[in-house]
């Protein structure tokens, strides 16, 4: 018996990276999981690799499109009859540059991708959770949501700080109705996405990609990057019975990188 038997989770951007790690961790505890993503092919591949057709589903769409995000919630309910856990994992940024060179497009994209998508999904999920008598909202933030000491990513830093504030606001409004809201703040993890965007970000800050990764590892108390499995374990804690008394928390999985 798993701690999440009978529960249904929606994990945005769940086909790879941190989202995939969380999805697999929730599945291992007995939950049914709906993953989302922009690529139908990647969704099909993820479902095939996981190999649990009775407890997994994939919904395509772009987290930067409001109607599509809201549709994921109704799609999850349609697939498995309920929704207990929402993991807002979608989000990213591009156009890395110092503030005086940062474009409107890069700024807007970061906030839409990170903050707006979490708001749209949470707003749609809350009525379902209220009808169930409770639920879990888990936002995948970042160590950068607590700090501001990396150059050329002010849009990402600002959006993750905003996500953390939204996490606390939801926790305050719905805590007495059985709904918890927390944010996981991972440190650097070498996901597929990091491999894609890391070199361009490193170049903007004047270092190689390997130097960029080494700097993150050096900043941590454990001397290495974190893993998706470690983030997944935190998500399981927050989603399960043991997490019922944890809300409004910004929980680090960063190897001791953040000072608070």
Tokens of 229: 């499995």
Cα separation, 190 vs 244, whole angstroms: 30
Cα separation, 220 vs 23, whole angstroms: 26
Query: Does residue 216 carry a catalytic annotation?
Result: no
CA 126 to chain centre: 17
Alpha helices in the chain (DSSP H): 17-28, 40-50, 66-80, 104-111, 117-132, 154-174, 192-204, 209-219, 228-239
Burial of 127 (0-12, 13-18, 19+ CB in 10 A): exposed
Burial of 55 (0-12, 13-18, 19+ CB in 10 A): middle
Alpha helices in 39-153 (DSSP H): 40-50, 66-80, 104-111, 117-132
- Check: CB of residue 90 under 8 Å from CB of residue 109: no
Among the options 156, 174, 212, 216, which is catalytic?
Answer: 156
**Active-site annotation, residues:** 156
């Amino acid at each position: 018996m798993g701690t999440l038997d009978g529960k249904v989770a929606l994990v945005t951007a769940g086909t790879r990276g941190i989202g995939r790690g969380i999805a697999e961790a929730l599945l291992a505890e007995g939950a049914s999981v709906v993953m989302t993503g922009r690529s139908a092919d990647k969704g099909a591949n993820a479902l095939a690799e996981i190999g649990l057709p009775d407890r997994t589903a994939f919904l395509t769409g772009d987290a930067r499109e409001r109607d599509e995000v809201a549709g994921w919630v109704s799609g999850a309910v349609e697939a498995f009859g309920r929704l207990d856990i929402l993991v807002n994992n979608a989000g990213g940024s591009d156009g890395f540059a110092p503030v005086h060179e940062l474009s409107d497009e890069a700024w807007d994209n970061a906030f839409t991708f990170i903050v707006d998508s979490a708001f749209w999904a949470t707003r749609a999920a809350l009525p379902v959770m209220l009808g169930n008598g409770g639920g879990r909202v888990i936002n995948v933030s970042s160590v950068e949501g607590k700090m501001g000491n990396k150059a050329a990513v002010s849009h990402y830093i600002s959006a993750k700080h905003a996500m953390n504030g939204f996490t606390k606001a939801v926790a305050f409004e719905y805590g007495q109705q059985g709904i918890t809201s927390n944010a996981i703040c991972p440190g650097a993890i070498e996901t597929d996405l990091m491999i894609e965007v890391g070199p361009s970000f490193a170049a903007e800050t004047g270092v190689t990609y390997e130097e960029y990764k080494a700097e993150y590892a050096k900043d941590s108390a454990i001397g290495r990057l974190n893993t998706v499995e470690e983030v997944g374990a935190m998500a399981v804690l927050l989603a399960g019975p043991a997490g019922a008394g944890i809300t409004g928390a910004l929980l680090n999985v960063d190897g001791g990188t953040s000072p608070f």
